[in-house]
A and B are shown apart, each in its own frame.
Chain A
Amino acid sequence: MPNSGAHNSVGLVSPCRVRFETAFQLANGSVLAEHELVYETYGELNAAGDNAVLICHALSGTHHAAGFYADDGQRAGWWDLAIGPGKPIDTRRLFVVCSNNIGGCDGSTGPNTLNPKTGKPWGAKFPQPQVQDWVRSQKLLAEYLGISRWAAVIGGSLGGMQALQWAIDYPEWVEHCVALAAAPKLTAQNIAFNEIARHAILSDPDWCDGDYLSRDTIPSRGVALARMVGHLTYMSADGMSDRFGRELREGSFTPEAESEWVFQVESYLRHQGTRFSTQFDANTYVLMTRALDLFDLAVGDHGDLKAAVDKALADFLVLSFSSDWRFPPHRSIEIRDALMAAGKPVTYANIETDNGHDGFLLPNQTYEALLTQWMQRVGPA
């Protein structure tokens, strides 16, 4: 099993589901008459209810953050590296919650679930959720679980932005906040990459204006291409050189060879794209990238990031990853500096790594040590 010795795994897990039947209004004004969230929990909520930690997933993440499913013993949850007994987010003393965001495609209400009004999949008609909507829906989940305050809200990338949004939208709810490889808002270049991904999906003939599920098809080529572009931005140039170099998977460089050439990196990207295209919903990808584009921590404060974070009452851990060019270190430094200027307690480090944006998901001694040590201050002593 990759990086998941059973000795420090949360072991077998299964998702839970909760249905909220009161109307839920999104930031864009549209209303979900009812909605469902799927989530997983690891560890036990203590009697005082002060050991609950919320994990926010990234763009293509799910509620399955740690452990294994009985029918899939091979692949651990997406952040099994950090969550488990004896791991940085230690489930022996913390109660960990991770939910699939509204608009997702892993069980929470989203474009691939049925629209109660029509009895058909929502498809492209699913309203555009934003990060603050996810925060509000997670607050409903917390109340349902009997939690009145998070000991910590933690996330990487889009999940890190969501953790920050939590800290400023519900200050009294968030005691500690961890934002990994995040940014206070996207740059034009970030939005451009998202637009290329969306364009790939919308250009696929099987997109059918987002109504592909009713036509019993999926725009798999478009989603695969979108993922290839996205995945590229998660890796660093040096990391790719180390991992793939110019090695061929098929063919040969000899002059007499007449074969087709397939570089290792091509094969890898194709594999990533194809695998993703059968697992991830195209409409969700469009909605999630758009939610990223729209995210701006300071939008309610006329762009003043310091004023935005001034509302928070949390202690912060902000980490960037040296070779991350999607949300480079200076984007985390923007967050750090706003927090410093507002006089908030903050620890910041730039983790030296070749793993690029994916650095927050991959093993790294300094990263794991820092997270482990910082997490000691989270939850009851």
Chain B
Amino acid sequence: MNRLDLNTVLGWVPRGSKVLDLGCGDGAFLKRLCEERGAVGVGVDIDPDNLVSAVSKGLDVIQEDINEGLNCFTRYRFDVVILTHALQELTHPHLALERMVHIGEEAIVSFPNFGHWRCRTHLGLTGHMPVSKAMPRSWYDTPNIHFCTVKDFEALCSDLRIDIIERATVAGAAQKWLGKWWPNLFASSAVYRIRRSAR
């Protein structure tokens, strides 16, 4: 999977932030945030081996199912809550987004863009759900149960009264500029900085 989105996320985390990394995996990225951005980080993951790896990096991690509502964080505020490439795996992405902007002053979300031209042409020409290097699993056994497009995500934010502070797109070298101007068609992934609307 193209994880160029992580560099964008790294640049968006203010120095010394209190960071919650949802679906932190083995903690490698959270560790980078701590080292390169002086972040004070907490990771959340459900996989025992991931927890062991993250703990071995000196990180604090909480074993929790993000789908269960993140109730443990209701009384604690973070500067930034991060969810990279996991939105499409959640049972209730909209509830998770609401919770994220509630727990954090800001949230950073990245996801693969299902509106990308490759997905569209695959579906349009073959009539089958797209399977690619980045999305290798068939529709029936994929963890990705809630794919969305850039347009879908932005519409959901609007519905949830979530403000988009900044957007970045990840696209192949040839489509770099196209991805910037027509993200819904040319971005393979999108990264958003969002926060609860002040309205």
Residues B58 and A370 in contact, CB atoms below 8 Å apart:
no
Decide yes or no whether A349 CB sits under 8 A from chain B.
yes
Q: Is the CB of B52 within 8 A of A373?
A: yes
Chain A residues with CB below 8 A from B55, complex form: 347, 370, 373-374
Flag if A341 contacts B51 (CB, 8 Å): no
What are 9 A-B pairs with beta-carbon distances under 8 A? A336-B72, A345-B60, A346-B62, A347-B61, A347-B62, A348-B64, A366-B51, A366-B52, A370-B52
A137 to B55, CA, bound (A): 33
- The interface of chain A, by Cβ under 8 A from chain B, is 306, 315, 333, 336-337, 340-341, 343, 345-352, 366, 369-370, 373-374, 376-377
Which B residues are closer than 8 A to A by beta carbons? 48-49, 51-52, 55-56, 58, 60-64, 71-73, 75-76
User: What's the minimum C-beta distance from A346 to chain B, rounded to whole angstroms?
Assistant: 6
Contact, CB under 8 Å: A337 / B72? yes
Chain A's nearest CB lies how many Å from the CB of B183? 36
Write out the residue numbers on chain B whose beta carbons fall within 8 Å of the beta carbon of A346.
Answer: 60, 62
Q: Which residues of B contact A347 (CB under 8 A)?
A: 51, 55, 60-62
Q: A337-B75, A348-B61, A366-B49 are in contact. List 17 more A-B contacts (CB 8 A).
A: A315-B60, A337-B71, A337-B72, A340-B62, A340-B75, A345-B60, A347-B51, A347-B55, A347-B61, A348-B62, A348-B63, A348-B64, A349-B63, A351-B48, A352-B48, A366-B52, A376-B56
Q: Are B52 and A340 in contact (CB under 8 A)?
A: no
The docked-state distance in angstroms from the alpha carbon of A345 to that of B42 is 8
Q: Which residues of A contact B56 (CB under 8 A)?
A: 373, 376
Report the bound CA distance from A237 to B190 in whole Å.
48
Residue from B48, B58, B64, B75 within 8 A of A366 (CB atoms): B48
**Nearest 5 A/B pairs, CB to CB:** A341-B75, A373-B56, A349-B63, A366-B48, A373-B55
In the complex, how many angstroms separate the beta carbon of A89 from the nearest chain B beta carbon?
15
- CB of B58 within 8 A of CB of A349, answer no
| Chain A nearest CB, measured from B80 CB (Å) | 16
Shortest C-beta distance, A278 to chain B (Å), equals: 40
Query: Which B residues are CB-close (under 8 A) to A315?
Result: 60
Complex Cα distance, B49 from A307, in Å, reads: 33
Q: Are A306 and B75 in contact (CB under 8 A)?
A: yes
Instruction: Report yes or no: A340 in contact with B58, Cβ–Cβ below 8 A.
Output: no
Inter-chain contact A343/B72, CB cutoff 8 Å? no
